[in-house]
A = this chain, B = another copy of it.
Amino acid sequence: MTSGTPTTPCQQIVLVGLSGAGKSTVGAILARRLGWPLIDTDDLVAKRHGSTPAEIITSKGEPAFREIERAAVHEAAQQTPAVIATGGGAFQLPASRAALGERGLICYLDATPGEIARRLRAAPDASDRPLIAGDDPESRLQQLDAERRLAYSHADLWVPVQGMDPETAAARILHTWATEADRLRSLPLRLDRLGAARPSAVPEALVDTGQDRYPIWIGSGQLTRLPERLRMVGVTGRVFLISDTNVIEAHGMRIAQALDGAGIPGASYIVPAGEASKTLRVADELYRWLAEQRAERRDAILALGGGVIGDLAGYVAATYLRGMPLIQAPTSTLAMNDAAIGGKVAVDLPAGKNLVGAFHQPHAVIADTDTLRTFPRRSYTEGFGEVIKHALILDPPLLRDLERHAGSLAAGTPDPEVLASVFTRSARLKALVVSADPTERGLRAILNYGHTIAHGIEAAAGYGNDYLHGEAVAVGMMGAARIAVRLGLLDEEVLARQGDVLRAFGLPLSAPGVPANAILNAMRLDKKVVAGRLRFILLEDVGRPVVRDDVPEDLVAEVVRGLVASS
């Protein structure tokens, strides 16, 4: 047995990210675990100059501070072994990035501005952060986040610290360091660095579960870059396109031409549009087709369509040959913001929706917003139910933007930049939560806000027919908010605000005429039942979700009856 060790294993971990993302705390844990020194570049600045970064910025201005910081970063970058926690802006200078990348595994601690603002409110040293001082730290953080995101995308590793305790974040980093540091550092072109050469290739968001890691591209014209994107994520075999009758009519030719033009072989299978296709019977048809086509494990399945296609084709990809590579190409508002991200795939049973499924992360999500134009208005609008949900549970600034632009967004006439920004932020929220908890053992449950009642409504109304998923979620969120108000968790004002924004998008706030008992019965069969008790996600405020298993049954029944009462 020969040793085969590389000459210099990586003995430096560098933490980058916005002020307040937890770099010092996580860095301290890493340093303790490894027995390595912790170097905080802000402390190093203070040591070398006798004044803190805050003092220097106040007295000499930010540009002077950046110059001083650069020297500290270069000094820190020489040390091994070491854990290095950088100041929030230290990674912006290309020279600093290069210095830190020379020996270090660069880890980007990623959280939403909302989460960071919440952390800062709870931290004693918030006054030491001059760049985010002021009345509206969330908006300031939002702006910093937008400015710095491109630089952070050069990190070796994204660590979604959203809702993660620092111990878990440290363990995630150590895991990657232990198993992949040398590989990640030796790649000539890393996933996160795709955009170093071409900004158009930088993904809008990234899922990194520690096991699986994939880009999410969102925007106009993405499908025309499909062959290039497929190559970027390592698809080298044939591509089996699964889509539905509506979608293929609008986009099939363009996709087929793009794939043909790039010399990518494959075949396609079209199922009838609608939830009725999300069954084991249709999955069986697809299996037989793949068997006829002699599909292999290195070939890929391309799911082009809305949530139904993503779930169905994703489930087939998860199970055929015990798993094939999957590319999600969502074409609806709902799928782009929710269903296509996170690896949940499933088919329905007569007894309930999504009862048979798997967790199967895609190799990439490619969301071309141009496809939205071809959808009927109601399908376009319903997806905003999930977007609003993301904002309600995780991102107050996004909620404000949705309120501000509700008119143009709901009418389908938004400024393209507004649409791209809203979708990117919504998809990123989903990606962050999924990255932290890919198999729904904890945090991910918050994404079920509104879903406990929504699934009951969908089942009771004959899902896919009377209520589209996003519409049912809107009604379900109103139910959950009423429960929260009744339990004394939530202010009436937030309930009213939630109702206003849903109404502004043309989403329903109630489900008149659906039988309450059928809803309640269906809810009891849901996957969210634990030990026979219904599980609810409730809000204490915008951005503050809690999980509750103890909502009294009679309160649930009363609220559901209220939702279905004809007004």
Contacts and interface: CB of A to CB of B under 8 A. Distances in A.
B530 A291 contact: no
22 contacts: A1-B123, A2-B25, A4-B165, A4-B166, A34-B35, A35-B36, A35-B81, A174-B178, A280-B284, A291-B355, A291-B525, A294-B525, A296-B527, A298-B530, A321-B357, A322-B346, A322-B357, A322-B358, A322-B439, A322-B527, A323-B358, A323-B439
A171 B318 CA distance: 27
Interface string A518-542: 0000001101011110000000000
Given A165-B4, A524-B294, A355 B22 contact: no
Interface string A366-404: 000000000000000000000000000000000000000
B22 A35 contact: no
A292 B174 contact: no
A28 B1 contact: no
A288 B348 CA distance: 11
Interface in A340-361: 344, 346, 349-352, 355-359
Interface in A319-333: 319-323
Contacts of A355: 287, 291, 320-321
Nearest to A36: B35
A564 interface: no
A439 to B, nearest CB: 8
B359 A178 contact: no
A288 B349 contact: yes
A258 interface: no
Interface string A9-27: 1110000000000100100
Contact of A179 (B36, B166, B171, B283): B171
A565 to B, nearest CB: 28
A531 B352 contact: no
Report which residue of A10, A318, A524 has the largest number of chain B beta carbons within 10 angstroms of its beta carbon. Answer: A318
A292 to B, nearest CB: 7
Interface string A307-325: 0000000000011111100
A175 interface: yes
A263 to B, nearest CB: 16
A47 interface: no
Nearest to A29: B5
Contact of A9 (B2, B33, B119): B33
Nearest to A9: B33
A529 B294 contact: yes
A349 B349 CA distance: 20
Given A5-B29, A9-B33, A175-B179, 8 more contacts: A2-B25, A4-B167, A33-B178, A177-B178, A291-B355, A298-B531, A322-B357, A358-B358
A108 B32 CA distance: 25
Contacts of A3: 25, 28-29, 166
Interface in A266-310: 280, 283-284, 287-288, 291-292, 294, 296-298
A531 B322 CA distance: 17
Given A178-B171, A297-B527, A524-B294, A359 B287 contact: no
Contacts of A253: none
Contacts of A352: 291
Within the oligomer, what is the number of copies of this chain? Answer: 2
Contacts of A187: none
A18 to B, nearest CB: 13
Given A25-B1, A349-B291, A530-B298, A323 B178 contact: no
Interface in A62-80: 80
A197 interface: no
Nearest to A322: B357
Contacts of A28: 3, 5
A292 B351 contact: yes
Given A3-B25, A291-B351, A322-B358, A296 B119 contact: no
B322 A1 contact: no
Nearest to A28: B3
A318 B1 contact: no
A524 B35 CA distance: 54
Nearest to A297: B527
A81 B81 CA distance: 14
A236 to B, nearest CB: 9
A9 B22 CA distance: 19
A532 B344 CA distance: 31
Contact of A167 (B5, B165, B439, B529): B5
A146 interface: no
The 4 closest A-B pairs by CB, nearest first: A174-B178, A291-B351, A35-B81, A322-B357
Contacts of A358: 318-319, 322-323, 358
Nearest to A179: B171
Nearest to A122: B1
Contacts of A175: 175, 178-179
Contacts of A80: 35
Nearest to A352: B291
Contacts of A288: 349-351
Contacts of A351: 288, 291-292
Interface string A460-498: 000000000000000000000000000000000000000
Contact of A32 (B9, B22, B296): B9
